[in-house]
């Protein structure tokens, strides 16, 4: 259980998050929506203890987040925003997937057979197992992002926090990605918190939705929220929502099949 209580974060005297309170239960798949600058990334960083609030608290399983991270950091899988990862490192995909498993004298290290099998398995889940020995800087942005998702899974995390996982990922794989995440949440009772700009997909796949714009405007079951009103409140009154369904009859790529 993740419990955020009266969380307020301030940067240079500007309030970025204002009195946020929420609870996320074990195994829930939560989507966080909001416009640019709404504080979505700051919220997930606060949940990870990366940002320190001026007021309020974050507890995971009843323990303050900093203490939880010290004791159980490996139980959290985290996908940071695509742009803040150093993709120019001279490492292979297998090294990138294993990079969080720090060990003394790591420069002389060889991976065990079970570690290699685990890397191969998670790369195959995200459809990039054929890239295992390629260098990360030579991959496309979407492939790099899938490698990062495989890295997140290497600890079999109880909590998975994804900051815009669909950045650079193509539309077709996006749908598959949400399906994989939904499956992980359901089968492994994994708590997933996902920041996304993909409103249509988020409303379709997640269990709970949070609409954020400095304040928490809504938090509820995916089907229980009147979205047109809330999203207009969060994004502004010019917001227009068009929901695309899979197999859309008017979509170009489906016309050939008909």
CA dihedral angle for residue 15, residue 165, residue 151, residue 139, rounded to 10 degrees: -120
- 60 has which bridge partners? 2, 63
Binding site for other proteins (CB under 8 A): 45, 48-50, 69-70, 73-74, 76, 78, 80, 84-86, 88-92, 95-96, 99-109, 135
CB of 201 to other proteins, least distance (A): 25
In angstroms, the CA 228 to CA 220 distance is 15
For residues 15 and 91, which CB has a smaller minimum distance to other proteins in the complex?
Answer: 91
Least separation in angstroms between CB 75 and other proteins: 10
Other Cβ atoms closer than 10 A to 12: 5
Shortest distance, CB of residue 234 to other proteins, whole angstroms?
26
Nearest partner of 211 among 14, 57, 31, 23, judged by Cα: 31
Helices (H), 48-195: 65-72, 93-98, 113-125, 141-153, 171-187
CB 159 within 8 A of CB 191: yes
The residue (of 23 and 70) whose beta carbon lies closer to other proteins is 70
Minimum CB separation of residue 44 from other proteins in Å reads 10
Q: Which is nearer to other proteins, 37 or 106 (CB)?
A: 106
Q: How far is the CB of 81 from other proteins (least distance, A)?
A: 9
Q: Least distance in Å: CB of 101 to other proteins?
A: 8
Write down the residue that tokens 């993909």 correspond to: 198
Q: How far is CA 94 from the centre of its chain?
A: 21
Using the minimum distance from each CB to other proteins, give the nearer residue, 66 or 130: 66
How many H helices and E strands in the chain?
9, 10
How far apart are CB 104 and other proteins at their closest, in Å? 5
Give whichever of 24 and 225 is closer to other proteins, judged by the CB atom: 24
Q: Nearer to other proteins by C-beta: 88 or 226?
A: 88
Nearer residue to other proteins within complex by CB, 135 or 173: 135
Cβ–Cβ under 8 Å, residues 29 and 39: no
Strand order in the sheet with 2-11: 14-24, 2-11, 55-60, 63-64
């Amino acid at each position: 259980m993740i419990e955020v209580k009266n969380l307020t974060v301030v940067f240079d005297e500007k309030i970025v998050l204002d009195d946020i309170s929420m609870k996320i239960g074990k195994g829930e798949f939560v989507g966080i929506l909001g416009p640019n600058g709404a504080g979505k990334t700051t919220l997930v960083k606060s949940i990870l203890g990366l940002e320190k609030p001026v007021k309020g608290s974050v507890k995971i399983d009843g323990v303050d987040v900093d203490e939880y991270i010290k004791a159980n950091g490996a139980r959290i899988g985290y996908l940071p925003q695509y742009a803040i990862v150093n993709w120019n490192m001279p490492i292979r995909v297998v090294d990138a997937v294993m990079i969080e498993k720090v060990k003394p004298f790591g420069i002389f290290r060889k991976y065990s057979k079970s570690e290699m099998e685990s890397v191969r398995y998670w790369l195959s889940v995200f459809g990039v197992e054929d890239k295992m020995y390629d260098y990360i800087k030579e991959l496309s942005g979407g492939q790099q992002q899938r490698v990062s998702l495989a890295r997140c899974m290497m600890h079999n995390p109880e909590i998975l926090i994804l900051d815009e996982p669909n950045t650079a990922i193509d539309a077709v794989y996006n749908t598959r990605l949400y399906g994989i995440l939904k499956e992980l949440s359901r089968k492994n009772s994994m708590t997933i918190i996902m920041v996304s700009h993909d409103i249509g997909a988020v409303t379709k796949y997640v269990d709970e939705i949070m609409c954020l714009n400095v304040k928490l405007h809504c938090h509820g079951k995916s089907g229980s929220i009147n979205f047109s009103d809330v999203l207009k409140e969060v994004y502004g009154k010019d917001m227009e929502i068009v929901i695309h369904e899979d197999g859309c009859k008017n979509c170009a790529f489906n016309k050939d099949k008909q």
